[in-house]
Amino acid sequence: MIVNIDKLTYLLDDNKKNATVTKSLVPYSGDIVIPATVDFNGVEYPVTDILDEAFAECVLLRSVVIGENVESVGISAFDGCTMLQKVAFPFSLHVMGISSFKGCTSLEEIVLPANVIVIGKNAFAGCTALKRAFLSDNLINIEPSLFDGCKALEEVSMGGMVESVGEYAFCGCSSLEHIKLPEGLLSVEGWAFRDCSSLKSVELPSSVVSVKKGAFWGCSSLVDFELPAGVNMLDQGVLANCSSLNNVVLHDGVLSIGYGAFYNCGSLKSIVVPSAVVSVGDQAFRGCAALEKLCVMCEAAPMCSADIADANVYAKTVLCVPKGLVGEYGFARVWDRFGNVEELD
C-alpha cells in the first residue's frame, strides 16, 4: 500500500509491519525529516528503508535528517540532488546502495555511524563540494569509485576494519594532501588514487600485499613512496607521472617491476632495484629525465622484453651493478644500451 503522510510517500508492508520511503509524484524539496515511525489508521510502522531512486534528481532538496529506524539507503536514492548540503545519518543504518549520493554537488561533509558495513560503489562519486568524509569504524571495503571526482575532498577518516581500497576509489580527488590507511589493509586496487595531484604523502601499512596497476598514477605532488614488504610486484604504472617523486624504497622481496612503473617520474634521481627482481617491464623508467643512478643489485641481469627507458636515460644515467658483473650486463638485452656502467662498492 502506498500512502502520503506529512509530505512523504511511503510503501507500507502489512506483513512486515514496516514502512519504506519511496518516490513521490511531486519531487521532494526543501528540508526533509524522515521520521522513525509513521502512523496510519492507528497502526504504527517503523520506517526501515529508503527505496531505490526515492529522492533521485530532487534538485531543490536542501537537507535530510534520516530517522533512527532506517537500516538501508537504496541504489541512487539521492543521486543528482545538486542542492543537497546536509545529511544526518542514523545509528541504525547498515547499508548504503550503489550511487546513493552520486552527483550531490553541494554536499560538503559526511559523517557515517559505526554500524554502516556496506557502502556501494560510486556512492559519493561526483560530489564536487565534498571536503570531509568520516567513514564508519566497521566498514570492510572502500568500494570502486566511491569518491571518484570529489575534487574538493581534503580529509578522509576510516576505521581499522578496511581490507581493500577499490578501483578508482579516490580518483581525481585533487585536493587530498595526506591519507593514512589502516593496519590490516590488504590491497590497493587499480587507479585507486589516480590523479590525486595534491597528495604529498601516503602511509601504506605493512599488512598490504597488493598494489595494483596505476594505483598512484598522476600523483604529481607525491615525494616519497615506500612499497610494503609484503608486496612482491611493482605493478604497471603504479607511480607513473608522479613528477615530484624523488625517494622510492623497494624491499628485497620484490620480484618484478611492471610496465611504465616509473614512467615520467621527472624528479627521480636514483633508485635501487632489489636483488630478487627477475624482470623489468617496458618503459619502466621512460621519461625519468633527472635519473642519475640506477643501482641494480641482481646477480643475473633482469629480463627485459623491450626498452625500459628512452635514449636520454640510456645516455646520462649511471647503471650500477654488482661487482664483477659489468661484462654480463654489457651483453644483456636492453641493459647493454646504458652508456655508463659501474660496479657497486
Q: Which CATH number is 264's domain given?
A: 3.80.10.10
Residue 24 included in any domain: no
H/E segment holding residue 41:
none
Question: What's the order of all strands across the beta sheet hosting 340-343?
Answer: 270-273, 293-296, 318-321, 340-343
Q: Are 291 and 270 contacting, i.e. CB atoms less than 8 angstroms apart?
A: yes
Q: DSSP readout, 57-90?
A: T-TTEEEEE--TT--EE-TTTTTT-TT--EEE--
- Among 7, 47, 52, 50, which residue's Cα sits nearest to residue 27? 7
Residues whose CB is less than 8 angstroms from the CB of residue 327 and which lie 6 or more positions away in sequence, other chains included: none
| Domain extent at residue 340 | 246-345
Residue 35 included in any domain: no
- What pLDDT, on the 0 to 100 scale, is given for residue 113? 96
- What pLDDT, on the 0 to 100 scale, is given for residue 345? 80
User: How far is 59 from 227, CA to CA, in rounded Å?
Assistant: 44
Residue 279 included in any domain: yes
User: How far is 262 from 287, CA to CA, in rounded Å?
Assistant: 8
- What pLDDT, on the 0 to 100 scale, is given for residue 267? 98
Residue 289 included in any domain: yes
Grid coordinates in use for 324?
A: 664483477
Residue 162 included in any domain: no
- What pLDDT, on the 0 to 100 scale, is given for residue 256? 98
Strand partners, 39: 44
- What pLDDT, on the 0 to 100 scale, is given for residue 93? 98
Residue 238 included in any domain: no
Residue 272 included in any domain: yes
Rounded average pLDDT per 10-residue block, the chain, 345 residues: 95 94 96 97 96 98 98 98 98 98 98 97 98 96 98 96 98 96 97 98 95 98 97 98 97 97 98 98 97 97 95 97 96 96 92
Residue 217's φ and ψ, nearest 5 degrees, are: -55, 130
Count: domains in the chain: 1
User: Which 8-state DSSP code applies to residue 299?
Assistant: S
